[in-house]
Amino acid sequence: QLTVQLPQLESGNQTGCWSLIELQGSFESRTLAEDNLIDQEEKLRGGLIGDLLFSRHSGQPLLIVGHHLLQGKSVPLEKPLAVIRGNQIVGVIRNKLVFRDRPKPIIASVTKR
Protein backbone atom coordinates (compact mmCIF):
# COMPACT_ATOMS: atom_id res chain seq x y z
CA GLN A 1 0.00 0.00 0.00
CA LEU A 2 1.12 3.53 -0.80
CA THR A 3 -0.06 6.83 0.62
CA VAL A 4 -0.71 9.84 -1.58
CA GLN A 5 -1.72 13.41 -0.80
CA LEU A 6 -4.66 14.50 -2.94
CA PRO A 7 -5.18 18.08 -4.17
CA GLN A 8 -7.00 20.38 -1.75
CA LEU A 9 -10.69 20.28 -2.67
CA GLU A 10 -12.20 21.92 0.40
CA SER A 11 -11.41 25.42 1.57
CA GLY A 12 -10.74 25.93 5.26
CA ASN A 13 -9.58 22.36 5.85
CA GLN A 14 -6.46 22.55 8.05
CA THR A 15 -5.33 18.95 7.51
CA GLY A 16 -4.49 17.59 4.09
CA CYS A 17 -6.67 15.11 2.25
CA TRP A 18 -4.78 11.83 1.92
CA SER A 19 -5.64 8.44 0.48
CA LEU A 20 -4.12 4.95 0.40
CA ILE A 21 -3.34 3.30 -2.91
CA GLU A 22 -3.69 -0.48 -2.94
CA LEU A 23 -2.11 -2.39 -5.83
CA GLN A 24 -2.34 -6.13 -6.45
CA GLY A 25 0.95 -7.89 -7.07
CA SER A 26 4.36 -6.26 -6.83
CA PHE A 27 5.69 -3.00 -8.18
CA GLU A 28 9.12 -3.03 -9.82
CA SER A 29 10.97 -0.40 -11.81
CA ARG A 30 13.29 -1.41 -14.65
CA THR A 31 15.98 1.01 -13.53
CA LEU A 32 15.74 -0.18 -9.94
CA ALA A 33 15.87 -3.86 -10.90
CA GLU A 34 19.45 -3.45 -12.10
CA ASP A 35 20.62 -1.96 -8.80
CA ASN A 36 20.79 -4.83 -6.30
CA LEU A 37 22.65 -2.84 -3.65
CA ILE A 38 19.75 -0.67 -2.51
CA ASP A 39 16.41 -2.04 -1.36
CA GLN A 40 13.70 -1.25 -3.94
CA GLU A 41 11.14 -0.19 -1.35
CA GLU A 42 13.58 2.32 0.13
CA LYS A 43 14.45 3.66 -3.32
CA LEU A 44 10.77 4.12 -4.29
CA ARG A 45 10.01 6.15 -1.15
CA GLY A 46 9.30 9.77 -2.08
CA GLY A 47 9.75 9.13 -5.80
CA LEU A 48 7.41 9.57 -8.74
CA ILE A 49 5.60 6.36 -9.67
CA GLY A 50 3.03 7.59 -12.17
CA ASP A 51 0.12 9.96 -12.78
CA LEU A 52 -3.07 9.67 -10.72
CA LEU A 53 -6.15 11.04 -12.49
CA PHE A 54 -9.89 10.96 -11.82
CA SER A 55 -12.47 10.47 -14.59
CA ARG A 56 -14.60 13.57 -15.14
CA HIS A 57 -17.80 11.61 -15.64
CA SER A 58 -17.61 8.80 -13.09
CA GLY A 59 -14.92 10.03 -10.69
CA GLN A 60 -13.14 6.69 -11.17
CA PRO A 61 -9.43 6.80 -10.24
CA LEU A 62 -7.00 6.09 -13.09
CA LEU A 63 -3.31 5.41 -12.52
CA ILE A 64 -0.92 5.73 -15.46
CA VAL A 65 2.44 4.06 -14.86
CA GLY A 66 4.75 4.20 -17.86
CA HIS A 67 2.80 2.71 -20.78
CA HIS A 68 0.18 1.04 -18.57
CA LEU A 69 -3.26 2.18 -17.41
CA LEU A 70 -4.82 0.90 -14.19
CA GLN A 71 -8.50 1.49 -13.46
CA GLY A 72 -9.56 1.50 -9.83
CA LYS A 73 -12.29 2.41 -7.41
CA SER A 74 -12.48 4.45 -4.22
CA VAL A 75 -13.39 2.50 -1.07
CA PRO A 76 -14.03 4.15 2.32
CA LEU A 77 -11.94 2.87 5.25
CA GLU A 78 -13.74 1.39 8.25
CA LYS A 79 -11.63 3.54 10.58
CA PRO A 80 -9.81 6.72 9.48
CA LEU A 81 -6.02 6.79 9.78
CA ALA A 82 -3.91 9.78 10.80
CA VAL A 83 -0.81 10.88 8.89
CA ILE A 84 1.66 12.07 11.52
CA ARG A 85 4.94 13.90 10.89
CA GLY A 86 6.89 14.42 14.10
CA ASN A 87 4.24 15.27 16.67
CA GLN A 88 1.81 16.99 14.25
CA ILE A 89 -1.14 15.50 12.41
CA VAL A 90 -0.68 16.55 8.79
CA GLY A 91 -3.55 14.60 7.27
CA VAL A 92 -6.37 12.13 7.66
CA ILE A 93 -6.84 9.08 5.43
CA ARG A 94 -10.54 8.32 5.00
CA ASN A 95 -10.54 6.17 1.85
CA LYS A 96 -8.32 3.97 -0.28
CA LEU A 97 -7.98 3.70 -4.03
CA VAL A 98 -8.02 0.01 -4.98
CA PHE A 99 -6.50 -1.13 -8.29
CA ARG A 100 -7.31 -4.86 -8.57
CA ASP A 101 -7.39 -5.48 -12.32
CA ARG A 102 -4.39 -6.12 -14.52
CA PRO A 103 -2.94 -3.01 -16.17
CA LYS A 104 -4.00 -2.27 -19.73
CA PRO A 105 -1.28 -1.28 -22.20
CA ILE A 106 -1.45 2.21 -23.67
CA ILE A 107 -0.74 1.88 -27.38
CA ALA A 108 -0.50 4.85 -29.72
CA SER A 109 -2.60 4.49 -32.85
CA VAL A 110 -0.51 3.69 -35.91
CA THR A 111 -1.69 4.86 -39.32
CA LYS A 112 -1.58 2.31 -42.14
CA ARG A 113 -0.15 3.30 -45.51
Q: What is the mean pLDDT of residues 60-86?
A: 92
* Residue 42 in domain: yes
Is residue 110 included in any domain, yes or no?
A: no
| In a domain? residue 69 | yes
Top-confidence residue, 10 or 104: 104
Q: Identify the residue with better confidence: 53 or 42.
A: 53
Determine, yes or no, domain membership for 29: yes
User: Rounded to whole angstroms, what are the CA distances from 57 to 43, 47, 52?
Assistant: 35, 29, 16
Q: Is the pLDDT of residue 3 over 60?
A: yes
Q: Which residues have CB under 8 Å from 30's CB, separation 6+? A: none
Query: How many domains are there within the chain?
Result: 1
Global pTM reads: 0.71
111 occurs within a structural domain: no
In a domain, 94, yes or no: yes
Q: Is residue 113 one of the residues assigned to a domain?
A: no
- Residue, of 41 and 85, whose pLDDT is higher: 85
Q: Is 54:60 a contact under the CB 8 Å cutoff?
A: yes
Give CA angle at 6 (98, 62), nearest 5°.
Answer: 40
Q: Cα(67)–Cα(8) distance, rounded to whole angstroms?
A: 28
CATH code of the domain covering residue 83: 2.60.40
Provide the domain limits for residue 26: 2-105
